[in-house]
Amino acid sequence: MVNEGLRLVPGYLSRSAQENLVQEVEKVAESAPFYTPTMPRSGRPFSVRMTNAGPLGWVSDRSGYRYQAEHPESGEPWPGIPRAILDIWEDLSGFPAPPQCCLINRYGAANSKMGLHRDEDEEDFSAPVVSVSLGDTAVFRIGGAERRSPTSSFKLSSGDVLVLAGPSRMHYHGIDRVLNGTSTLIREGGRINLTLRRVTRPG
């Protein structure tokens, strides 16, 4: 499979950098608690809990997917994206403007996954998407520009960073499963994923 523009940086974050990011996520979650999003139309709950940092958060509910400035349950603005997370974007995105959304996905110890999707709710696709994996190893699947395109899979371990730039920015992808007990980073187990995105056109 060719995923032009995809770059996996295994072991990008040291153990101490990973521990620091878990703490930063805990701080974000104190002001913007994890909540369980629901699917458009069906209202079926996601198996993953979510929260956001940054001026725009990605949310999903019965009315659809969108970006909004406020937490859907508290109505409060999302907290800022922690400096240590902005540094990763600056180092790896190659994009001149900062990310506007840091979506935080929390996979619990039991059977969380994420179906095949494209990140396509943004107004501007010229910026890459940068994603950081923390905690238990996940099996990441990626295909092509169409849902029926052939797919392949690889593992994302704690501290790995994945960049989807160029054509791969619009490729279908998802998380097949999380391999429980593969990391000691998160006390309660499971996995945290940070997905950094530009939402609007800069300038």
Q: Which residues bind ligand MD6 (CB under 6 A)?
A: 105, 114, 119, 129, 131, 138, 162, 164, 173, 175, 193, 195
- Choice between 88 and 129, CB closer to ligand MD6: 129
**DSSP per residue, 61-96:** ETTEEEEESB-TTT-PBPPPPPHHHHHHHHHHS--S
Query: Looking at beta carbons only, is 92 or 138 nearer to ligand MD6?
Result: 138
Structure tokens that stand for 32 in this block: 């913007």
Considering the complex, state which of residue 53 and residue 138 has its C-beta at the smaller distance from ligand MD6: 138
Shortest distance, position 194 Cβ to ligand MD6, whole Å? 9
Please, which residue, 119 or 136, has the CB nearer to Fe ion? 119
Helix (H, G, I), strand (E, B) or coil at 107: strand
Binding residues for Fe ion, rule: CB under 5 A, are 119
Beta bridge partners of 196: 102, 130
The alpha helices in the chain, defined as continuous H runs, are 15-31, 83-92
Q: How far is the CB of 56 from Fe ion (least distance, A)?
A: 16
Of residues 81 and 175, the one with the C-beta less far from ligand MD6: 175
Minimal distance, residue 60 CB to ligand MD6, in Å? 13
**Torsion on CA atoms 178, 141, 53, 50, rounded to nearest 10:** -50
- Shortest distance (Å) from residue 15 CB to Fe ion: 26
Distance CA(112)–CA(8), nearest Å, equals 22
Closest separation in Å from C-beta 84 to ligand MD6: 18
First to last CA, the chain: 36
Residue nearest to Fe ion (CB): 119
